[in-house]
Structures are given as structure tokens and as C-alpha cells.
Amino acid sequence: MDQLHKRFTDEQIKVLFQGYCQGLLTRIAVQDMLGISKSWFFTLLTAYRQDVAAFSVAYHRTTPARLSAVVEAEIEQALRRDKELVEDERLPISGYNYSALRDRLAKKGIEVSLTTIIDRAKRLDCYMPHAKKSVHDREVLTAAIGALIQHDGSTHLWSPLAQEKWVLITSIDDFSRMLLCADFFPQESTWAHIQATQTLIQTYGLPLRYYVDSLRVFRFVQGRDSFWRKQVLETDDVDTQWCKMMRILGVDVIYALSPQAKEIPSIRFEQARAAGNSLFRPFSLPKPYTSPKDVFCLRETRRVNGYRRISLFNHTIEVPNVPLYEEVEIHLIPDMLKQIMDIRIWWNRKMVHSITYPLNEFTVHF
């Protein structure tokens, strides 16, 4: 295959490609006659179509036989820089990308082959062999898109230039393995997970169920969380803020690992949606709510005192039109961009009051 120029003339190859372009020959037939791979076929075809007259498979050496000391130094510097990143435990980098390194060198006008870079990497102890991929025998547990959403967060120093770690929150459809939502947040907080969930649901609809881990955001676990709760409460006896939202939306939550699928996610997802093989439900506001703010929010309850007021995080708020000593539901909606906190108070299935405060007046962790 690499000696193509010795076995065929440029004109012979042009005739074959002309026949392919005119529909007289199939790709496989041309590959068999030339003895080349599919990828090499398309590489040559692209060059042929770009300039038929100048097309040639004649071999030309693009790099000198021996690299100069300056080039060797540039390669070594680049490899050692990458080694620092690979060995930095704060970064989610598990191996070397020699192709990217070659591209960076090319931007400096240094043209070297991938083989040369890997050879230098081995000499300089900047080489990490590819781990053998374990063949998984797991299969998709779901039969339709929207049956199960795998939702998780991962905190890393995502860039060597970053000054602090950020959390990446992702949501993946189990059936198609398509990434439906991915966003960065300063912290892995309840509010961050609520926002990520809102983005997915308002884009694709309500799934049948969510898979999450046992992070405090998602689950109360007896023993771990008992310091803050009465000992009589068992695991899952307490709804977290995120679970309250899912319960209102009618979305189940489970705590189990789901496996991977093997097809291209976006194609599998779109094929399933086109075929009606979907368990996503159109998102609509559950009654009696009139705004998404009352669904995708943090919730608290308070009891109105004898002065028709409630106390909320060191704020005294008057609540009109509510009988004394009645319990009200409070919806808190932080706006990180505007740095404000919207508060919507509900009683007897009606919103009875709303008020906005500066966000910095609330010291609670969201």
C-alpha cells in the first residue's frame, strides 16, 4: 500500500478514479485493484478531485533525514510540558496526545512525523502505552429514549490555566448514550443540579426516571446525614430539594448503575425519536403552578405567626391574605447573574406574595 507509486502510474490511478466518479466502478473495486485501505482511498480521492491535472502519488520526502538540534530541543520541551500535565493529579488528563503535540509543532513551522515524536517520547520517559480496553458484556437496560437519564457531576481543574476547580454536570440518555446536557458550575450544589435538570427537561421533555448517586444533593442517608436529622428517620425518609422537584414533576429517581450502548449516540437517539420509541413526556407546568420558577426552585416551609409574618434566614417577611398560624410553602430562586433572590410564597394552592432580595443577604449553601 505504501509502495503505490511503484506499482501504478499517476495516469492509471486517474483512470480508476474517473471511473469511480462516473459511477462505472465501485469503491471496493478500486480499492481491490490498487490494494489500498478505505481511508487511503478517500485520501487519494480528495486529492484527485481537488486538482486532477496535478494529481500524483509520487513519493516526496517532507522532512530531512536528520533533525536539527533546534528541532530536537523543541520536541523535548513540548514532551516534558505534556508530562507535567499528565502527572498533575489535579487535572483530568490520563495520557499523552502525540497528534496534538505534532499539530502544535507544525504551527511553529516544525514538520515531524508522529512516529518520530513517539520515538522521542520513549527515549525521554514521556511515553505511556495505551491500556488494553476491557471488553464489556453489558447491554442497554432500557428500550427507549427517555426511559433512564444518567445524571452526575465531576469536579476537576479542567484546564492547566485555570485558577480553581469547576464541576461539570452531565446528563446522558441510557438508551442512545447521547449527552443531553453538560454545563460547568463553580460548585456542585443543589441549585446547580436543579438548573442542569431544568435545561434538560425544558429541551427534551420529562423522562421516565433519573439515575443518580448517593450525593447529599440527591439522597438522605441514615448515619451519614443523621447529625442534622432525628435518629428515627431512616434512609430516604427525607426528600432533598432536588428530589422534591422530581416528585412534583412525576419523575422517578433510582440509585443504580446503568450500562453503555455501542452505537453512535446522536444517531441512535434521533432514530428512536423518529420511530416514536420515546418515553419522554412533553413538559408542562404541574397545577397549580403558573411559572417554571415554582417547579425548578428550592423549597422551604414556614408557619405564619400572630403578626402575619414569617422568619426566613434572618429576614422577617409579611405575608398578607393568609390566616394566622397557617403553614406556607416558600419557593427560592437564586439568580447568580443578577445576584438576586426571588421569593415566591404559596398558600392554599395560590401564590400570595413575592419579594426580591440581594443574594448576598442569604448565607445558606445552595
Radius of gyration of the chain (CA): 30
* 8 A C-beta contact, residue 151 and residue 171: yes
- Residue 353: strand pairing partners: 345
What's the confidence (pLDDT) of residue 274? 93
Q: How confident is the model at residue 285 (pLDDT cuts 50, 70, 90)?
A: very high
**Within 10 Å of residue 15's Cβ, how many Cβ atoms?**
13
What's the confidence (pLDDT) of residue 254? 87
- Residue 303: strand pairing partners: 327
Report the alpha-carbon distance of residue 343 to residue 267 in Å, rounded: 42
Model confidence, pTM: 0.63
**Residue 165: is its pLDDT beyond 60?**
yes
Q: Determine the average pLDDT of the residues in 249-256.
A: 86
Q: Determine the average pLDDT of the residues in 150-176.
A: 88
**Residue 131: is its pLDDT beyond 80?**
no
Q: How confident is the model at residue 210 (pLDDT cuts 50, 70, 90)?
A: very high
* 8 A C-beta contact, residue 246 and residue 158: no
3-state secondary structure of 30: helix
**Residue 322: is its pLDDT beyond 50?**
yes
**Pick from 288, 323, 310, 325: which is nearest to 355 by CA?**
310
What's the confidence (pLDDT) of residue 61? 54
Q: How do strand 166-173 and strand 179-185 relate by DSSP bridges?
A: antiparallel
Task: Answer left, alpha or beta for residue 247, where phi above 0 means left and psi between -120 and 50 means alpha.
Answer: alpha
**Pick from 176, 184, 186: which is nearest to 150 by CA?**
176
**Residue 116: is its pLDDT beyond 50?**
yes
Kindly give the interhelix angle for 98-107 and 114-123, rounded to the nearest 10 degrees.
Answer: 110
Q: How do strand 298-303 and strand 327-335 relate by DSSP bridges?
A: antiparallel
Q: What is the pLDDT of residues 303-321, one digit of tens each?
A: 999 999 999 988 999 998 8
Q: Return the sign of the alpha-carbon dihedral for residues 216, 219, 225, 230.
A: positive
Question: What single-letter amino acid sits at 353?
Answer: H
Report the alpha-carbon distance of residue 150 to residue 177 in Å, rounded: 9
- Up-side HSE of residue 87: CA atoms within 13 Å toward CB? 10
* 8 A C-beta contact, residue 112 and residue 102: yes
Report the alpha-carbon distance of residue 347 to residue 308 in Å, rounded: 13
- Residue 182: strand pairing partners: 170
Kindly give the interhelix angle for 10-21 and 27-34, rounded to the nearest 10 degrees.
Answer: 170
**Pick from 265, 362, 244, 366: which is nearest to 313 by CA?**
362
